[in-house]
Structure 1
Amino acid sequence: MLNLKDLSLSVIIENQNLSVVFQPIVDNSERNILGYEALIRGPLNSPLHSPIALFSEAKKQGRLVELEFLCRELSILKFKALNLPGKLFLNASPETLFQPNFRSGYTLKLLEKIGLSPCRVVIELTEHSPLENYELVRDALKHYKEMGFEIAMDDLGSGYSGLRMWYELRPDFVKIDRHFICNIHNDKVKQQFVRSIKNIAKELDCKVIAEGIETQDEYEFIEEIGLQYFQGYYFAHPQQKPLTQVTDHLFGDKRLIKRPKIRFQPSTKINDLLQPIEAIDASETIEYCADLFNKIPDLDSIPVLENNIPIGLILRNSLTNLFFSKYGRELSGQNKIESLVDRQILVLEHDLSIEQASALISKKVRSKKALEFIIVKDQKYQGVGSIIDLLTEVSNLQIDNARYANPLTLLPGNVPISKKLDFLLKTQNPFTVCYIDLDNFKPYNDCYGYEKGDQIILGLADILKECITDKSDFIGHIGGDDFILISSSKHWKKQCEKILEKFAEWVQHRYSQEDRNKEGISAEDRTGNMQFYPLLSLSIGCICLPPPICTSHHDVAVLATYAKSMAKKMKGNSLFVSDKK
Structure 2
Amino acid sequence: MSQRSPFPAIAPRIEDLIAHRDLSAVFQPIVDLDGGAILGYEGLIRGPVGTPLETPYALFAQAEAEGSAIALECAAARTCIKAFAQLAYEGKLFLNFSAGAIRQLAADRDGTFVMLRKMGVEAERLVIELTEQSTIPDVASFLPAISVLRTAGAQFAIDDYGTANASLNLWVRLQPDVVKIDRFFIHGIASDPLKFEAVKAMQHFAAASGARLVAEGIEQESDLIVVRDMGIGCGQGYFFGKPHARPPRAITDNAREALRAGHIAVFPEATRAVNASLSGGMACAKMIVRAPALPREATNNDVLRLFNRMPNLHAVVIVEQGEPVALINRRAFMDRYALPYHRELFGKRPCMLFANTSPVVIEKSMTIENMAKLLASDDQRYLADGFVITDQGRYVGLGTGESLVRAVTEVRIEAARYANPLTFLPGNIPISSHIRRLLGNDSGFYACYVDLNHFKPFNDQYGYWQGDEVLKFAAQVLTEVCDPMRDFLGHVGGDDFLILFQSDDWRERAQRAIHVFNEGTQRFYAPADRLAGGIHGEDRRGNPTFFPFVTMAIGCVHVESQTGQLLHTSEDIASVAALAKRRAKSEASGLMVIGFEESHALLRGRTAAVSQ
Q: TM-score range by the shorter chain?
A: 0.3 to 0.5
**What TM-score does the superposition give when structure 2 sets the normalisation length?**
0.40
Based on CA coordinates, which of the two structures has the bigger radius of gyration?
A: 2
